[in-house]
Structure 1
Amino acid sequence: MSPRGARTTAAALAAVAALGLAGCSEASPELRVSGAYVPEPVDGRMAGGFLTVHNSGEGADRLTSVSSPDAGKVALHTTEDGRMEHVDSLPVPAGGELELRRGGSHLMLTELSGKPVEGERVQLVLHFEESDPIEVEAPVESATHVPDAQRK
Structure 2
Amino acid sequence: MNRRAPLALAAGLTATLALAGCSSDSSASTSGSASGSASNSASAQGGSSEGPQLSVSGAYMPEPVSDLAAGFVVVTNKGGTADKLTSVTGDISDDITIHKTENQKMMEVTSFDIPAGGELDLERGGSHIMFMNLKHRPRQGEKVRIELHFQKTDPITVELPVKETTYNPAQQ
TM-score by length of 2: 0.70
Distance 1:50 1:41 in 2: 13
- Could you tell me which runs of 5 or more consecutive residues in structure 1 were left unpaired when the two chains were aligned: 1-24
Q: Does 1:92 align with 2:130?
A: no
In terms of Rg, which structure is larger? Answer: 1
User: How far is the alpha carbon of 1:143 from its aligned partner?
Assistant: 0.4
Provide the C-alpha distance between the structure 1 equivalents of 2:164 and 2:140, rounded to a whole number of angstroms: 6
What is the percent sequence identity of the aligned residues? 48
Q: Name the CA distance, whole Å, in 2 between partners of 1:69 and 1:114.
A: 10
The answer as to 2:81 corresponding to 1:62 is: no
Instruction: Tell me how far apart the structure 1 counterparts of residues 151 and 143 of structure 2 sit (CA, whole Å).
Output: 26
- Distance in 1 (CA, whole Å) between partners of 2:58 and 2:93 is 20
| Count of aligned positions | 125
- Aligned ranges for residues 1-152 of structure 1 at < 5 Å? 27-43=50-66, 45-147=67-169, 150-151=170-171
Alignment partner, residue 4 of structure 2: none
Shift in Å, 1:151: 3.4
Q: Say which structure is richer in strand.
A: 1
After the TM superposition, list the runs of 4 or more consecutive aligned residues in structure 1 that deviate by more than 6 angstroms. Answer: none
Q: TM-score, normalised by structure 1?
A: 0.79
Q: Secondary structure at the match of 2:95?
A: strand
Structure 2 spans left out of the alignment, 5+ residues: 1-47
